[in-house]
Amino acid sequence: MRVGVEPFLMLAAVLFSLGLYGALSKKATVQLLMSLELMSIAVNINLVALSRFVTPQTMEGLFFAIFTMVVSAAEIGLGLGLVLAIYRQARTSEVTNLTELKG
C-alpha cells in the first residue's frame, strides 16, 4: 500500500485539533502545557513529512522541525517554571483561580 504525504497531513490536522481542544477546555495549567505539546508534535509531523516528500535534498523541513523542538523545549521549561512560581504565590495552579487581575 502506498502512503503519500496527505495521510501524514491529515493525521497532523487531527492531532492539532485534539491539542486545541485540550488547550481550550482544560483547567489545570500542567494539562494546558501538555495540550500545547501535542500541538507542537502535530506541527513537527507536518514539517518532517513535507520535508521528506517535497525537499528531500535540502531537508528544510527537518531543520524547521529541529528548531521547533528547541523553541518548544524552551517554552515547556519556562511554562513549568511559571506554573511553579504561580503555585508558590497562590498555593494553587488552577487556571480558574488566577483572577487577581480581573476587573
Minimum Å gap between C-beta 68 and another protein is 10
Minimum Å gap between C-beta 57 and another protein is 6
> Residue 49 CB: number of other CB atoms within 10 A?
21
Of 56 and 103, nearer to another protein (C-beta) is 56
Contacts of 40 (CB under 8 A, 6+ apart): 68, 69, 72
Minimum Å gap between C-beta 103 and another protein is 22
User: CA nearest 79: which of 31, 12, 11?
Assistant: 31
Of 3 and 101, nearer to another protein (C-beta) is 3
